[in-house]
Amino acid sequence: MSLFSLASGAHAETVANDGIVNLGMSLPLSGPQASNGLALKGGVESYLQYVNQNGGIFGRRIQLVALDDGDDVARTVANTKKLLDESRVLALLGYHGTAAAEAVLPLLAVAGVPLIGPTSGAESLHEPFNRHVFNLSASYKEETEAILNQLDFQTLIEVAVLHQNDRFGQTGLKDAEAVMLKLSLRKNSVGVVATNSRDVAQAVKTIAEGKPQAVLMICSPLSAAEFIRQMHKAGLFPQFIAASYMDVGALFKELGPEARGIAISQVVPFPWGSDLPLLRQYQMLAKQHSAQPISVYGLQGFMAAKLAVEAMQKAGRNLSREKLLSTLEADYDLGGYRLRFRRDNHSGSKYTEMTVITRDGKLSR
């Protein structure tokens, strides 16, 4: 008997009669964010193919139903309704971005279905508590705290903040200010830029006058790249740093080798490392079953799939959305990466680590 094959028997609510269990994703498989969406999908598929080759779950094959939303929220909602009503998925996995995850929250409650491993660390997915959302990684607020603690450790005390002028940027600034009050850091200056804008001249002027030792960037890669470029032209080279929401590929595309040394916090282990069984398994299965390169998004998808399968195995033969929800509220070890879910807390991990961008656009510890 394999690790995954036990006996048959399914709950009619969510499991098809032909021996297939459906899991669903809506994500950008086309458009500007397609590389991230394809990486997420590839990570999920690499683990599910491994499971299916080893007998499936309770003798059933797990099928991923992945629908393209092109990073359009209206399409995300329409896709999710289709996944819930037509594909009758047992769970949803790894939605890409804050707007997409927030948009489907009302649908989760109606359908009683779990969303496992959304990639966004937005506070709205952590607080207030939502029974149907299972976060596999730290929130942006926790990332901000980790970043500022790192700067404090390095005695980079004079810290400026560049933030975009929207809810995301303003929340990030507020979180940073709260953490700074607890540390020996000083808010040196604050620069503001319109969302996804290259017009950073005023922000550069404001921040350059303060000559900060570090700049926390809470903005799009487009804005960050232009800001860094102009700061360098002004002869200023502070430590530029951002949280995991910063798209490294997009940032490097704009800056090229000038991106070298920019620090990016991460909320999953270093995908190219070998220090955890999880990473070794991900790398092995990704090479066997996916055309996508090893990546942060690939690992996130892999982790979401692995948690879903382990919870399904633990839930027993009679799978249902409700039983899976209850079973997920426990401790899980994905291979050195530990998750802890409770009835009143689905923030499974606070793990963070720092990486830097290399001259060729890769990440290094």
- Report pLDDT digits (tens) over 76-97: 999 999 999 999 999 999 999 9
Is the predicted pLDDT of residue 14 greater than 70, yes or no?
no
- The 10 Å Cβ neighbour count of residue 364 is 11
Taking every pair of C-alpha atoms in the chain, what is the biggest distance, in angstroms? 69
- Summarize pLDDT for 126-146 with one digit per residue, the tens: 999 999 999 999 999 999 999
Name the pLDDT band for 241 (thresholds 50, 70, 90): very high
Average pLDDT of the segment spanning 55-60: 93
83: its two tokens: 């996944």
CA distance 320 to 112: 10
Helix axes 140-153, 167-182, angle to 10 degrees: 40
What pLDDT score does 13 carry? Answer: 55
Mean pLDDT over each residue of the chain, to the nearest integer = 94
Residue with tokens 């793990």: 351
- Answer yes or no: are the C-beta atoms of 228 and 255 closer than 8 Å: yes
Nearest CA to 275 out of 358, 355, 333, 335 is that of: 335
pLDDT > 70? residue 279: yes
- pLDDT score of 5 more than 60: no
Supply φ then ψ for residue 103, to 5 degrees.
Answer: -65, -30
Task: Give CA–CA dist 22/111, Å, rounded.
Answer: 15
Candidates 114, 117, 22, 127; CA nearest to 326 is: 114
Omega before 221 within 30 of 0, i.e. cis: no
Which domains can be identified in the chain, with CATH numbers? Answer: 20-138+271-350 (3.40.50.2300), 141-266 (3.40.50.2300)
Residue corresponding to tokens 């990639």: 119
* HEC sequence for 176-245: HHHHHHHCCCEEEEEEEECCCCCCCHHHHHHHHHHCCCEEEEECCHHHHHHHHHHHHHCCCCCEEEECCC
Contact call for residues 292 and 298 (beta carbons, < 8 A): yes
pLDDT at res. 249: 92
Instruction: Note the Cα 48 to chain centre separation in Å.
Output: 19
Calculate the alpha carbon distances from 206 to 160, 181, 200, 211, 212 in Å. Answer: 10, 22, 10, 9, 11
Structure token pair of residue 85: 């009503």
Record the tokens describing residue 209, joined without a space. 């006058």
Tell me how far apart the alpha carbons of residues 259 and 255 are, in angstroms, rounded to a whole number: 6
Give the rounded percent of residues in the chain with a pLDDT score beyond 90. 93
Reported as a single tens digit per residue, the pLDDT across 161-215 is 999 999 999 999 999 999 999 999 999 999 999 999 999 999 999 999 999 999 9
Res 86: pLDDT: 95
Name residue 74's amino acid: A
What number of other Cβ atoms are within 10 A of residue 9's Cβ? 13
